[in-house]
Amino acid sequence: MNRSISKKRYSYINYDTFNFLKGVAVILLFAFHFIASPDLFLPQYWLTEFSFYTTYFRYFLNLCVAMFAFLTGYGFWFSSDISFKHSLTKTIKIIKIYWIIYFIMFGIAVGTGIYHDIQIRKVILEIFGLSEDSIGGDVIAFFWYLSFYLAVLYLLPVCYFLILRNYTNILRDMFWMLVFPLIIFSFFGNLLGNYFSLKRLFVDLMLWFPCVSVGCIVAKYNGFEWLDKKIFALKKHIRLLVFLAFIFSPLYGLYNLPGLIYDFKSSLILPIVINMSIIYIYPFIYDIIIIKQKMKVKYSNIICEIGKYSMYMWLFNGIFFNIFRECTQPILVYPKVPLLIILWGLLICFILSKVSDFLITILFGFDNKND
C-alpha cells in the first residue's frame, strides 16, 4: 500500500500520549455532562452553582467530542490496515462491548420495574446507536456516538482510497475532506431523514466528521511536527503567549461563535451546520500534548489510565442521565461542589469500567479498552 505522501512514517502521538489525550477528552466530557448540561438533569437535582459553567464553558467543554473525532482521524492515517475488513473487525469488537453493557443495564431496568414500557423497535434501533434522542428514557444515554463512530469506520477507507492517497495538495484535501462531505451529509440527511432516525446520524456527521478530517490531514502533512518547528523557533516569552492562546482562544471563540448555519432554503438538502471546533481542535490538542510533556509522570499516568477505558467511561457516565437517573442523580450531586462532583463521577465510572473490563475479559475472552 503506497502512503509515500506522508514523508514521516511515524506518529507524533505515541501510545501513552494517545491515551492521555483520550483521558483529557473523558474529563472534559464528564465536566460537560455533569456541570454544564441542564437539559440532562431532573429539575430537583440541577444546582444553581452550575449556571455559570453552562453559560461560559458549555461549548468549550464540548470540545471533548471534537478531540475524540480528531484522534480517530489521526490514528486512522497511521493504521497498519486500511480496509473494510479491518473496519468490520473493529465494528464487531465495539458492538460486542456495547451490547453486553446495554443488555446488562436493560436487564436491571426491566427486573427492577424501572423500564416497563418496552418498545421492540426502540430497543432494536438503540442497540445500533439510532432511535430518538430522548436521553431520560434510554438505556444508553449517549448512544448516538456509536452510530457516528461506526459510520466513520467505513467512511474513512472510502476517503483514503478516493482522496487522501491521490493528492499531495493540502487545499484539495481540505475541500474534499471538509467542504464536500457537508454537502453530502446534508443531502442524505434530507433524503433519508425519516428512516430509522437517520437524520440525527447525518447531522452528527455534519457536525463532527470535519474534526475527523482535520485529524487525517494533520497526520498526512505532519502538522504537529510543523507546529513544533514554528513554535520552538520563537522566543520563550512569545512561545508562552502562543501556548496560552491555543488554550484560551477556543474558550473565547466557541463562547461567542460555536457554529455557523447556512440555510439554502432548498428542498434537496438540510441547512448546513459548520462546527467551529474545526478551527481550534488542532492547536488545542497540540497544547495538551505539550502540557503532558511538562506534567509529572504520576499525574499523567492517572489521566492515561482514564483514557485506556474511554469507551467504558462513555457508556457508564450515561447512568446518571438514562432511565436510572431518578436513582443515580442524587448520588452524583451528593458532593454539591462542582469540582468534587466531576471527581466523584469520574471515580464511580472508573471503578465500574475497571470491574466491567475485568469481568468481560474473563467471561468473554476479550477487552476493548483502547478502541
Q: Which residue is listed with cell 468473554?
A: 364
Q: What is the mean pLDDT of residues 253-265?
A: 93
Q: What is the pLDDT of residue 11?
A: 86
In sequence order, the β-bridge partners of residue 259 are 275
**In angstroms, how far is CA 164 from the centroid of its own chain?**
23
Write out the three cell numbers for 263: 440555510
pLDDT at 8 over 70: no
Q: What is the pLDDT of residue 121?
A: 84
- Does 176 map to a domain? yes
pTM attached to this predicted model: 0.93
pLDDT tens column, 163-208: 888 878 999 999 999 999 999 999 999 998 777 678 889 999 999 9
The DSSP symbol for 367 reads: -
Q: Quick one: which H or E segment has residue 259?
A: strand 259-262
Q: Which residue is listed with cell 480517530?
A: 72
Q: Cα dihedral angle (284, 290, 291, 295), rounded to 10 degrees?
A: 160
Instruction: Judge whether 259 and 192 are in contact, CB under 8 Å.
Output: no
Total domains, the chain: 1
Q: What is the mean pLDDT of residues 8-19?
A: 86
Write out the three cell numbers for 99: 451490547
Q: Distances from the Cα of 174 to the Cαs of 67, 92, 127, 179, 212, in angstroms? A: 18, 31, 34, 7, 12
pLDDT at 352 over 70: yes
Q: What percent of the chain has pLDDT over 70?
A: 94
Q: What is the pLDDT of residue 3?
A: 43
- Does 6 map to a domain? no
Cα–Cα distance, 21 to 314 (Å, whole number):
15
pLDDT tens column, 57-99: 999 999 999 999 999 999 999 998 899 999 999 999 999 999 9
Cα–Cα distance, 371 to 281 (Å, whole number):
20
Write out the three cell numbers for 335: 458532593
Phi, psi of 259 (to 5 degrees): -170, 170
Strands 259-262 and 272-275: antiparallel
- Does 7 map to a domain? no
- Does 8 map to a domain? no
Q: What is the mean pLDDT of the chain?
A: 91
Domain range for 122 is 15-364
pLDDT at 366 over 80: no
pLDDT at 340 over 90: yes
- Does 287 map to a domain? yes
Of 137, 140, 113, the C-alpha closest to 126 is 140
- Does 10 map to a domain? no
- Does 139 map to a domain? yes
- Does 5 map to a domain? no
Q: What is the pLDDT of residue 267?
A: 83
**In angstroms, how far is CA 134 from the centroid of its own chain?**
19
Cα–Cα distance, 95 to 100 (Å, whole number):
8
pLDDT tens column, 300-334: 999 999 999 999 999 999 999 999 999 999 999 99
